[in-house]
Structure 1
Amino acid sequence: MNGSEFARPIVGLTTYLQQAQTSVWDVHASFLPGVYIKGVTLAGGIATLLPPQPVDAEIAARVLDRLDGLIITGGKDVDPATYGHDPHPTTDEPARDRDAWEFALLAGALRRHLPVLGICRGAQLLNVALGGTLHQHLPDILGHTRHQQGNAVFSTSTVHTVEGSKLAGLIGETSDAQCYHHQAIDRLGDGLVVCARDTDGVIEAVEMPGHDFVLAVQWHPEETLDDLRLFAGLVEAARNHTTERVNLWPPPN
């Protein structure tokens, strides 16, 4: 039996790069809330952080060569210029270094069929990377702020999955989701399908049929680690991916 079948897969998680304060230090720093890391490790993976940095396709490829799965994490709004829109007054000042880094990692991951999980911003970035667009401020459309109440207070939404989707296979027909987003997917990116909406009809998850695991949710599963199903799904897909890669090495003559 191949020992790689039980190896803990290495999962890369993208991070913030901005001013941060700890003790007497107030510095420009890479960081990520520890709940993301805990979600990966509790699900059986090895977490490694991927801070924004100067990037090209070769750099992204070398990083991805060492990963079994990729999580695009939450954070600032994606730069509206990347999907051809002018910024809404409420849209964050863009973090273009992070946008470029994550677009490069995502493009490389999709080319090599690396398992990908997008979380909140990660769902929006996946959609934009594939040619889609975003609603920049949901209250303008829905008339309420329940998706993002502010002051770091998460709201609970009920999401309804699409029957037969990969997501439904992981979490069932409905699930309570911790939300903190004022933006959402508008026009769907190429190759993506909607796999969950909330009671307002907002797209809450998308996936890419035909791939082993490309799934992105608008909510924050890292905030409810008593339910590891999404992290476990990504880690299992990453484990399968690395097992297949080991079994294909060395390549046939």
Structure 2
Amino acid sequence: MSEKYVDYTFDDGAARITLVNGDRGNPVHIESCNQLRDAVLRAKADAARVIVLAAEGRFFSVGGALDGFATANDPEALLLELAEGANRVVTELVRGDALVVSVVHGTAAGIGFPIAAAADIVLAADSAKFSLAYAKVGLSPDGGGSMLTHTLGLHRVLRLALLGDLLTAQEAYDAGLVARLVPAEELAATADEIVAGLVTGSREALAATKRLVRNVAEPTPESRMRQEAESISRLVGSSNGQEGIRAFLEKRAPRFK
């Protein structure tokens, strides 16, 4: 039996999907992606009005599990499979009728950032942080990371992606990404309050509103994420991509050619 990385519960119109590999920082790999997508599809089958995406442990997610790419026989194929798996998760969240609420504490890094940002409503603890530090390991964003430009703006996303800066919860709130910013101890109660309000609304009206607004912001997310997947998989097979991953795992500065 495979290890459990995602927990699913459903009650009163709300599907709660929780990343439960908190001891390791909820890294994203092929199996966790598969379990996450299965949970989202289960919510769809249950006709969930709201999907709540949360995580256990200190972090929302530390991002992709890079150790596998340092030893893989074909890191390019492996990363393409992972990126496309993450893309399917994001596509289901964005395209589905259920309203998605992400509950972010700690850090949402790498692919964990765009997965959290794929929600329609992002709630965050005031201590939360967001990171797109792909360039530091010789890679490019995936999972919809480039589409954050629609919310955060061109030059802020370039700063995050190229310089590896952290986006604080306050900055994310000021930019419009985070809908509610609260002390960490109030995060769960705030999420419950918002979800309770959403599940009593008109399912048809809320779903129609979500489709209309999202289609204006990004009418073709699938093609954008496919370009991201091809880019990051190509880079991971390069000498600089492999050096970046080894340096990250060895906790040293990379020596890019």
State if a TM-score over 0.5 links the two structures.
no
Provide TM-score, normalisation by structure 2.
0.30
The TM-score normalised by the length of structure 1 is 0.31
Structure with the higher fraction of residues in helix conformation: 2
